[in-house]
Chain A
Amino acid sequence: MRELFESTIERLLSDISTADYIRSAEGGMWSADLWRALEENGFQLAGAPEAIGGAEAGWEDLFVIVRAAGRYAAPVPLVEMLLGNWLLEASGIGARSGVLTIAAQGTLRWEGERLSGDLYHVPWGRHAEWVVTVVGDQVVLLDMACADGVVPGSNIAGEPRDNLLFKAAHCAASAKLPSAMPASVLQIGGAMLRSAQMAGALTALLELTSGYAAERKQFGKPIASFQAIQQQLAVLAEQTAAANVAAETAFSESGDQLASFSIAVAKISTADAASIGAGIGHSVHGAIGFTQEYSLHLLTRRLWAWRSEFGSSTFWSTQLGKYVCAAGEQAFWPMITHSKQHQLPVAEIGSV
């Protein structure tokens, strides 16, 4: 399944999600034809049950979809929908078709049967039909038609990150969080998504930058022949490799429960790689990379944005560090060799 997913989505995105296409999405246009093409191939429901048209793929297989979404900077909430539907399925509400996104942060509170409050930084909120969030110990599905306001916002890459306002809204469905699933599940899952997207974007950045270095000539030779440039690109390759391994580990070790320990590791490793990688990409490209016209920034602006979404490297390092210290010196090495058996308690963001 994984190979098929990967080849299909890579082909689809490389055809449609071109630099010009991403630019018009950044200008505010909804990518309706991309969304439709993804729907026709069943990607939004890849993790959902067959009965509703899904492929019942696990996180291990979904990884290649999410990484490709990052690699081609797909300007749609595809990855958010995969996570949202996974949670809807797990809680018994059932996956939805239609544009669906997630909200990991907010002030939503129950008032009897109704919900009031704000949801923050909702990816593609303005374009969504459905929002999945967690309120208390309940998974909640909200129909965007019930929102009382949308305050548009954008991340560094011009991707919609909107605040949504609800006043005494009816939710479309709600159900208790599955047992042992933490209230921060969307925060954890979001970090996992962004880690794979960053791994994808770094892979594209490495290809773009080494390709450019082989073509661009100065002092009569390609700049790739200068050791100073080679040394920088080697570091970019190392960081890209680290990001790919870390993100794949997080997905491969997630199943019914998200592997929060490995996800923390992945978010830290990919966010740090994003910072280093974006710097090298610009350095090697010289002035051309700083232009609107050249497509380097479509990757680097996303890397800068994604590294801090669903918790920065500092947020996750702090969570992980507290856990490691509490476990103590004797537990450290066994924890490294059996990291996938550990669940990391994750505080709400902002309360580091």
Chain B
Amino acid sequence: MSISQFKYSVIPEEAEALRADVRCFLKESLENYPAVKKAHSWMGFDAQFSRQLGQKGWLGMALPKQYGGADASPFARYVIIEELLAAGAPVSAHWIADRQSAPLILRFGTPAQKEKYLPPICRGESYFCIGMSEPNSGSDLASIKTNAQRVDAGWLLNGQKVWTTNAQHSHYMIALVRTGSQAESGRHGGMSQFIIDLTLPGITVRPIADLAGGEHFNEVFFDNVRLDADALIGEEGKGWDQVTAELAFERSGPERFLSSIALMHTALALIGPRPDALQARDIGRITARLLTLRNMSLAVTQQLVDGNNPAWAASCVKDLGNVFEQELPETLQLLLEEQAQVNGGSDHAQVLAYLTQMAPSFSLRGGTREILRGIIARGLGLR
């Protein structure tokens, strides 16, 4: 692991060429979209919008053509997703499938699984959620208890997942569950991943309201759920390694520093062309940090293009990015005497209210700050 992984990287022209089209499409589709909805960014659910993106060929872009993808470079995908996020498009329906589940299935799935799951993901019709966390297993995923026992032609699943984003809207969950005992196979052994059809009997999904009253994440209960043999993805007992690889996809992108970007737009609109000294300084500093984060993130994308594993570099970007997107509402509320308002008030007041409440989650979802810094320290050879 070394700092030299972060080298200056530019988006190649053929990927850059996509930008104008996406921008144009977004301008039209989001014309009357309220600012506070834009602030939801990758929490905003709109199946119709996801299907439109699928028709445009902007989902599963990096997947092979054979499965409905475009065989495009990671940079092409980068351009699309940063434009979607900066515009505040509602991408949550397909988000996890496109970003995390599809690459996982491509990498570890059987030919039949790829054939079955990937094309509808590329069409924006099939949505996934991630079942890792459990009530007593957050950062320490090794302690999960949900288990699948082999029964005649398949598996019998029992247990509970929690904080499962979009479980109530998803067709499938990719879950990490126990298939062997920890005593026999070691702390990270005895775990496997399954693709679970959420319509199966014995599954109960219960939304959990977040502190702002939104319902994004859920509890999911499995009560003697019968899974077919082909629900297993990858190798039995190799779940931990697969999950670690999967998390690298989840930590590398612009979604890790753009979560509060809507507020920058409403703030600039209010500040206007002649900022006072404090506003000028803080707007300038935010701009600099944003650009540097983007350049770091492009360096990570280059690593993907070069076929390297960017897990360490991605952790650096995610942690620094989370600090940035959490500080944005903090800094911007100091620049304008504009009170945050949940109902009524200006666009800025509403976006500020929403993001102030959402900000704590930015450094929790996808791995907490402390866990990421632990990964970075490991990369430095400290542990």
Contacts and interface: CB of A to CB of B under 8 A. Distances in A.
Interface in B144-174: none
Contacts of B268: 324-325, 328-329, 332
Given A249-B295, A252-B8, A333-B86, A230 B382 contact: yes
B186 interface: no
Interface in B332-380: 370, 372-374, 376-377, 379-380
A112 B202 CA distance: 93
Contacts of A329: 265-266, 268-269
A200 to B, nearest CB: 10
A224 interface: yes
Contact of B8 (A245, A322, A339): A245
A130 interface: no
A231 interface: yes
A17 interface: no
A249 B272 contact: no
Interface stretch (A88-96, A103-111, A261-269, A289-297): A261-269
Interface string A308-334: 000001101111111111101100110
A210 interface: yes
Contact of A318 (B19, B281, B376): B281
Interface in A224-269: 224-225, 227, 229-231, 233-235, 237-242, 244-246, 248-249, 252, 262, 264-266, 268-269
Contact of A210 (B86, B285, B382): B382
A73 interface: no
B55 interface: no
B291 A326 contact: no
Interface stretch (B46-54, B216-224, B243-251, B312-320): B312-320
B296 interface: yes
Given A321-B282, A325-B283, A203 B86 contact: no
A336 B265 contact: no
A231 B19 contact: no
Contacts of A323: 284
B288 interface: yes
B24 interface: no
Contacts of A233: 376-377, 380, 382
Interface string A191-216: 00000000000010010001001100
A218 interface: no
Given A237-B316, A241-B313, A242-B320, A321 B374 contact: no
Given A244-B6, A264-B288, A238 B282 contact: no
A337 interface: yes
A214 B378 CA distance: 12
Interface residues of A, number: 54
Nearest to B288: A268
A281 B250 CA distance: 31
Contacts of A336: 86, 287, 290-291, 294
Interface string B254-294: 00000001001110110111110101111111011111111
B299 interface: yes
A234 B380 contact: yes
Contacts of A249: 8, 292, 295
B345 to A, nearest CB: 18
Contacts of B282: 317, 321
State the majority secondary structure of interface residues on B. helix
Interface residues of B, number: 54
B335 to A, nearest CB: 10
B213 interface: no
Contacts of A324: 268, 283-284, 287
B378 to A, nearest CB: 8
B319 A234 contact: yes
B382 A321 contact: no
Contacts of B287: 265, 320-321, 324, 336
B381 interface: yes
Interface in A262-290: 262, 264-266, 268-269, 272
A332 B275 contact: no
Contacts of B316: 234, 237-238, 241
A263 B98 CA distance: 36
Contacts of B284: 264, 268, 316-324
Given A234-B319, A241-B6, A248-B7, A225 B383 contact: yes
Nearest to B299: A245
A234 B3 contact: no
Contacts of B6: 241, 244-245
Given A234-B373, A234-B380, A246-B292, A317 B3 contact: no
A325 B299 contact: no
B380 to A, nearest CB: 5
Given A233-B380, A266-B292, 12 more contacts: A224-B382, A233-B382, A235-B373, A239-B320, A241-B3, A242-B293, A268-B285, A269-B288, A269-B292, A320-B288, A321-B282, A332-B268
Interface of A: 203, 206, 210, 213-214, 224-225, 227, 229-231, 233-235, 237-242, 244-246, 248-249, 252, 262, 264-266, 268-269, 272, 313-314, 316-326, 328-329, 332-333, 336-337, 339, 352
11 contacts: A210-B381, A234-B373, A237-B3, A238-B320, A245-B299, A248-B7, A265-B287, A266-B292, A318-B281, A318-B284, A319-B284
